[in-house]
Amino acid sequence: MGGWNILRVALIAIRRNPVRSGLTMLGVIIGVASVIAMVALGSGARASIDEQISSQGVNLIYLSAGSWGRGPGTARGGAGSTTSLTVEDADAVRAQVPLVARVSPGVRGRAQVIAGNQNWNTSIEGGNEEYLEIRSWRVVAGENFTARHVLVADKVCLLGKTVADLLFPGEDPVGQIVRVRNLPFRVIGVLAPKGQGQWGDDQDDIVIAPYTTLQKKLLGITHLNRVTISAVSQDRVEQAAIEITRLMRQRHRITNPDDDDFTVRTVEEMAQTRLDVANTMNSLLMSVASVSLLVGGIGIMNIMLVSVTERTREIGLRLAVGARSRDILSQFLAEAVTLSVFGGLLGIALGIGISETIVRSLGWPMQVTTEAIALAFGFAAAVGVFFGWYPARRAASLDPIDALRYE
Amino acid sequence: MALIRLVDLRKSYRVGDVTVHALRGLSLDVERGSFVCVVGASGSGKSTLMNVLGLLDRPTSGHYYLEGEDVSGFDKDRRAHLRNRKIGFVFQNFNLLPRTSALENVELPLLYGGRALPPAERHARARGLLEAVGLGSRLDHTPQQLSGGQQQRVAIARALVNEPELLLADEPTGNLDSRTSVEIMEILQRLVRERGITVVLITHEHDIAEYGTRVVTVRDGRVTSDTPVQNRRDAAAERAALPPLELEVEPEPAEAGAEA
């Protein structure tokens, strides 16, 4: 019997019992739909994390003062709490680690910022002229400060989108004066909006100024809080971070890593925890969805077994009129696979529908990928073959005489 | 050359601890174009004989020559192929596929046997045969919409679709009333007469056996008598002599007149 006839006979058999066929397919439909929706959820979460990483700059390495490590018996202030990180450290990193492309010494603080009758408490960051480039941050109005501004500790600043909108509603902030702790800064640029940070913070709620100005005129310190570094390329980030750590230990004469007075972290590392959570979540959801696909497969097997028993006489007759065992085998296998493939197709449609609905109603990031569709579909077809095999085998091994007499 | 030659056929099988000898050295020749009726009580071995003749089963020993070829040692697939090409089956309980049209039921054997007939030709053949058995107006009826006699006629059309040499009928009238039985026997007699088909019919009713050309009695797995029929019954004449039915019970009264 040719391929087309096998399929035709399978379709006729499926159509003969539409309600039962529908219910049988339901298991696969739900299984495939949930696999697709779950994978979409997982890929969406990962994509949004990836997007946040690249919005920060993929090559980014932070060298912060203080340590996250926990040494025995010592009180630790955490990152940013010590005063041992200096501009010399930053210069050394720039000079001695070849994998490093750009380095920006940085200080941070919070301050009340006043312009006219508006005021706002925001975080204020200092960097050098390369800071924006390291963080792949653009200036949308005005311009970035220059090396000269840094050198002379000029009182100029860049406003984040949020700050600019709050202090200068409906006005162009460039060229205006803002007062930071009563110190007047000239606004020379407005930053492009960057959106939410890794932890849901508003990255645009910020004022950026030359670190020298903040050190000398605003904070009155000589140390740095952190150094922002970019590696030459994304795949050298890890190696660069290792070399920076080695250099810093050498410069600060640290032999035991527990005694580190600095922390080196890459953006990827910082996102890793969240990626791990997303991945764990994803595998968990996937396995639940796979179980339902498996249950769908067992449903197919169950129905096929019932069907073989019910149609014993039909099988006997087919054998009597010249069907070979393998014709019967392929017929029943084709029925199971057709059920699961149709179920798979409907499941894909349902899965995409569910994903769309979740995106629209809950606003979760979801990504229906072609890989997920191909995977779910392939899995559904495999389920059909796997769970259809046993009933088909049973049908094919029937003896024509017994089958014809079966009551 | 005889169409069928059975030589010292033996068949035994085990049922639990007991070995049953169903055929004990049965020999029989069936000439082409004959209408042989095999009669025997239940347990006589006639069903086993039918299964062996129909290539559904293999003899334990002995030889079965079909058109001169010894088929007793053929494996499952070769027997399936021969069944498809050379043998048509008619069963007591019709064995039609439920919820499937008469046309598709008749086409069924054409799906097997390794031959890919175009659908149009399959339909044409099946339609022609259904018309020949008087069901030309019921092509799309499913078995549930047909009476017993009509179902058996569909089954006969199905048995003929591959133009077999041999038609094996296993108690074909066992589930039918006497009037319908006569109708079925008329069709079988006509097939032998007009198409030269060889019919082997198994029955336990002696009066049905008298429609054949020869009666073979089987007992204890052997042929105990083999005689030509002296006063052969003519089903066509008998049917013509029957009083017309006042009320023909039809599943669909609207089409009752179309049947002839």
Of A28, A64, A3, the residue nearest A244 (C-alpha): A64
pLDDT band at residue B257 under the 50/70/90 scheme: very low
Please check whether residue B256 lies inside any domain of the structure.
no
Distance from the B109 Cα atom to the nearest Cα atom in chain A, whole angstroms: 5
Please tell me the predicted confidence (pLDDT) of residue B103.
94
First to last CA, chain A: 28
Of A129, A107, A122, A128, the residue nearest A218 (C-alpha): A107
Please tell me the predicted confidence (pLDDT) of residue A271.
74
In angstroms, the CA B153 to CA B55 distance is 23
Cα dist. A304→A311, A331, A338 in Å? 10, 11, 12
CB B83 to CB A16 under 8 A? Answer: no
Element (H, E) at A317: helix A312-320
3-state secondary structure B84-144: HHHEEEECCCCCCCCCCCHHHHHHHHHHCCCCCCCHHHHHHHHHHHHHHCCCCCCCCCCHH
Reading the block at residue B111, the tokens are 């799906």
Q: Average pLDDT of chain B? A: 90
B61-66 and B35-39: which strand pairing? unpaired
Reduce the DSSP state of residue A157 to 3 states and report it.
strand
DSSP annotation string for B181-216 = HHHHHHHHHHIIIII--EEEEEES-HHHHTTSSEEE
Q: How many CA atoms lie within 13 A of A154 on its CB side?
A: 16
The stretch A384-399 carries a mean pLDDT of 92
Residue B7 has pLDDT above 80, yes or no: yes
Does residue A323 sit at the B interface (CB-CB below 8 Å)? yes
Reading the block at residue B139, the tokens are 């092509």
Mutate to test the interface with B, among A17, A321, A326 (most CBs of B within 10 A): A321
Please tell me the predicted confidence (pLDDT) of residue A399.
92
Residue B247 has pLDDT above 60, yes or no: no
Please tell me the predicted confidence (pLDDT) of residue B251.
56
Please tell me the predicted confidence (pLDDT) of residue B258.
45
Please check whether residue B85 lies inside any domain of the structure.
yes
Residue A312 has pLDDT above 60, yes or no: yes
Q: Which residues, 6+ apart, have CB-to-CB distance to B138 below 8 Å?
A: B102, B130, B145, B146, B150, B255, B259
In angstroms, the CA B106 to CA B127 distance is 8
Please determine, for the modelled complex, whether the ipTM score is greater than 0.95: no
Cα dist. B49→A61, A354, B35, B92 in Å? 89, 62, 16, 16
Number of domains making up chain B: 1
- Summarize pLDDT for A353-365 with one digit per residue, the tens: 999 998 888 877 8
Please tell me the predicted confidence (pLDDT) of residue A79.
52
Please check whether residue B115 lies inside any domain of the structure.
yes
Please check whether residue B250 lies inside any domain of the structure.
no
Mutate to test the interface with B, among A1, A11, A317, A402 (most CBs of B within 10 A): A317
pLDDT band at residue B250 under the 50/70/90 scheme: low
Please tell me the predicted confidence (pLDDT) of residue A258.
79
A402: which chain B residues are within 8 Å (Cβ-Cβ)? Answer: none
The Cα diameter of chain A in Å comes to 104
- Summarize pLDDT for A253-307 with one digit per residue, the tens: 888 887 788 888 887 777 777 778 888 888 888 888 888 888 888 888 888 899 8
- Summarize pLDDT for A209-224 with one digit per residue, the tens: 999 999 998 888 889 9
Cα dist. A79→A74, A104, A109, A111, A119 in Å? 15, 17, 14, 20, 29
- Summarize pLDDT for B8-26 with one digit per residue, the tens: 999 998 888 999 999 999 9
Helix %, strand %, coil % of chain B (to 5): 35, 25, 40
Of A64, A162, A314, the residue nearest B99 (C-alpha): A314
In angstroms, the CA B224 to CA B218 distance is 6
Please tell me the predicted confidence (pLDDT) of residue A69.
53
Please tell me the predicted confidence (pLDDT) of residue A380.
86
Q: Average pLDDT of chain A? A: 86
Residue A58 has pLDDT above 60, yes or no: yes
- Summarize pLDDT for B216-241 with one digit per residue, the tens: 999 999 999 999 998 899 999 998 88
B54: which chain A residues are within 8 Å (Cβ-Cβ)? Answer: 320
Could you give the percent of chain B with pLDDT greater than 70? 94
Please tell me the predicted confidence (pLDDT) of residue A361.
87
Calculated CA dihedral for residues B203, B209, B215, B216, nearest 10 degrees: 10
Please check whether residue B145 lies inside any domain of the structure.
yes
B80: which chain A residues are within 8 Å (Cβ-Cβ)? Answer: 319, 322-324
Residue at token pair 């069944």: B83
3-state secondary structure A330-348: HHHHHHHHHHHHHHHHHHH
Please check whether residue B28 lies inside any domain of the structure.
no
Pick from A3-17, A50-64, A332-346: least confident: A50-64
Please check whether residue B96 lies inside any domain of the structure.
yes
Residue A407 has pLDDT above 70, yes or no: yes
Please check whether residue B67 lies inside any domain of the structure.
no
Reading the block at residue A38, the tokens are 């779950």
pLDDT band at residue A366 under the 50/70/90 scheme: confident
Does residue A327 sit at the B interface (CB-CB below 8 Å)? yes
Does residue A312 sit at the B interface (CB-CB below 8 Å)? no
Distance, CA of A254 to chain centre = 36
If you measure CA to CA, which chain A residue comes closest to B82? A322
Mutate to test the interface with A, among B96, B112, B117, B175 (most CBs of A within 10 A): B112
CATH number at residue B191: 3.40.50.300
Please tell me the predicted confidence (pLDDT) of residue A75.
52
- Whether B136 contacts B130, CB under 8 Å: yes
Q: Which residues, 6+ apart, have CB-to-CB distance to A273 below 8 Å?
A: none
Could you give the percent of chain A with pLDDT greater than 70? 95
In angstroms, the CA B109 to CA B120 distance is 15
Q: Which residues of B touch A (CB under 8 A)?
A: 51, 54, 56-57, 76-77, 80-81, 83-85, 89, 91, 95, 97-100, 104, 108-109, 111-113, 116, 158, 162
Q: Which domain holds residue B86?
A: 33-60+74-237
Please tell me the predicted confidence (pLDDT) of residue A41.
85
In angstroms, the CA B249 to CA A118 distance is 99
